[in-house]
Structure 1
Amino acid sequence: MRQGRHGGWVVLATAFQWRFAVAEMETTLAVTAVYLAWIRCEGRADTREIALALLLGTLIAAAAVGFLFL
């Protein structure tokens, strides 16, 4: 049963998934690749939403790492 795109939650979930991939760089890279392929294949997010999520996730990761040095 396909419910279509879900907008905001997909962007936020992708942003945080990308944040974990950027910050930890081990097993989460494989999980993130599968997740990104799934949301793209299912049509849950378009290219613009994925790009926005990756930007947000990168900013979240940078803020988390920056906070460690305060």
Structure 2
Amino acid sequence: MAFVAIYTIGRLNHPYDHPSSREFFQVGNEVYRQATKSGLIESFSPEGVAFPEETVKGKGSPILTLTVWRNP
């Protein structure tokens, strides 16, 4: 079975621990929980995933996302 993976790099308007960023992480955790429950993901850890150098510079907190699709 083939998968399509999309890796995105963005910026949060506030630091990771700011109340305004909380919803982003709550939604992301729920999506991860559902993906794990479906069997699509067995395990995932962002540990060791480096930010590309150009994303570290600039305004806002860099954030990485990864989505995996069974088909387009």
Smaller-chain TM-score bracket = 0.3 to 0.5
TM-score, normalised with respect to structure 1:
0.43
Flag the structure with more relative contact order, 1 or 2, with Cα contacts below 8 A and sequence separation at least 6.
2
> Which structure: greater strand fraction?
2
Looking at secondary structure, tell me which structure has more helix per residue. Answer: 1
Question: Which protein is bigger by CA-based radius of gyration?
Answer: 2
